[in-house]
């Protein structure tokens, strides 16, 4: 959740500040990456490794774009965080529609030199808090892109090309899960 939210706001680096900290009994290394009593890696270490690998899979593509801003789609889930944003984009020429049964945060990126009109990139995340959501429950996110026949999608450390019908891309995302999408014309 935190990593994809940071990426949606154009982050290029995300430090982990609790790599190692003081021991508290019964807390599996006090939620740090390393248990200071045993020196063993904790569950948090493996969670961080998993998300790092997913992000590394698209970092070259992500870093070739410049962040423009972020869009918010409020599905009426009473997410007060979106109302706190003072500079959120209200629209984007390429992304003409967002539909979902979950709140969605979209980071908007541009690359002037994109081939096959791949001049826009989008971090799209289900902005539902994983702590309060049902494990494994996915939400449908439907994006409509103007001037796009395909989209390169990076999800869970893998990439695929989706063929779009009338510019429509459907994604199923768990709470806090995100993808990087680059629409283009083939």
| Average pLDDT, integer, range 134-162 | 91
Name the nearest CA neighbour of 184 among 61, 70, 7: 61
Summarize pLDDT for 130-141 with one digit per residue, the tens. Answer: 887 777 677 899
DSSP annotation of 18 reads -
Between 132 and 144, residue with greater pLDDT: 144
Q: What is the pLDDT of residue 129?
A: 81
Rounded Cα distance, 120 and 128, in Å: 25
Longest dimension (CA), the chain: 57
Distances (CA, A) of 5 to 12, 105, 115, 136: 12, 7, 27, 19
pLDDT, the chain, mean: 85
* Residue owning tokens 């009593």: 37
Over residues 75-86, the pLDDT tens digits come to 776 566 666 676
Measured distance between the N- and C-terminal CA atoms of the chain, rounded to whole angstroms = 32
**Residues 115, 150 contacting (CB under 8 angstroms):** no
In this prediction, what percent of the chain has a pLDDT beyond 70? Answer: 84
What does the pLDDT read at residue 83?
65
Position 122 confidence tier, pLDDT thresholds 50, 70, 90: very high
Mean pLDDT of 82-105: 83
Q: Which residues contact 171 (CB under 8 A, 6 or more apart)?
A: 124, 140, 141, 142, 143, 153, 155, 179
Indicate the DSSP class of residue 134. P
Q: Mean pLDDT throughout 78-102? A: 79
Which of 64-73, 116-125, 127-136, 139-148 is predicted with the least confidence, judged by mean pLDDT? 127-136
* pTM, two decimal places: 0.86
pLDDT of amino acid 29: 42
């Amino acid at each position: 959740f935190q990593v994809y939210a940071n990426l949606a706001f154009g982050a290029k680096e995300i430090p982990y500040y609790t790599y190692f900290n003081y021991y508290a009994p019964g807390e599996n290394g006090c939620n740090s990456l390393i248990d200071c009593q045993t020196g063993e890696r904790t569950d948090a270490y493996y969670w961080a490794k998993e998300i790092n690998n997913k992000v590394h899979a698209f970092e070259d593509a992500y870093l070739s774009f410049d962040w423009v801003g972020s869009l918010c789609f409020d599905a009426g889930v009473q997410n007060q965080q979106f109302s706190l944003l003072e500079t959120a984009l209200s629209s984007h020429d390429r992304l003409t529609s967002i539909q979902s049964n979950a709140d969605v945060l979209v980071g908007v990126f541009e690359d002037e030199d994109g081939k096959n009109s791949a001049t826009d990139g989008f971090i799209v995340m289900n902005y539902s808090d994983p702590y309060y959501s049902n494990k494994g429950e996915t939400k449908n996110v439907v994006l409509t892109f103007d001037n796009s026949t395909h989209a390169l999608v990076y999800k869970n450390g893998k990439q695929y090309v989706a063929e779009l019908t009338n510019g429509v891309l459907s994604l199923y995302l768990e709470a806090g899960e995100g993808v990087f999408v680059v629409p283009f014309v083939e």
